Amino acid sequence: MPSNRWVPRHPVAHAWCVDREGFVVDTTWDEGMDYFGVPFRMEYVKRIADDARKDYGLIDNEEMGFPLLTGAHLVADALKA
């Protein structure tokens, strides 16, 4: 059974938001931690949310057959430049 256990220096799938000044807002992480995120286009996020029957991530979307990883969805259409 999969788990979302934190492992130092190991990337994990995790959602976050950005405010109008471009500051990452994530209340689940301690202040001062490094953060690398992938900014998605809002249109893509809405499309996935409308198509998904469950709560799945955008990159590791098993329910939809991993469309970004398989090339079914173009990365350029999903990510902000």
| CB-CB contact of 29 with 35 (8 Å) | yes
In Å, what is the CA distance from 54 to each residue of 27, 29, 48, 61? 23, 25, 10, 10
How confident is the model over 28-76, as pLDDT tens digits? Answer: 777 666 666 778 888 888 888 887 676 677 888 888 899 999 999 999 9
Output the pTM of the full model.
0.61
Distance CA 56, CA 63 (A): 7
How confident is the model over 19-38, as pLDDT tens digits? Answer: 888 777 777 777 666 666 77
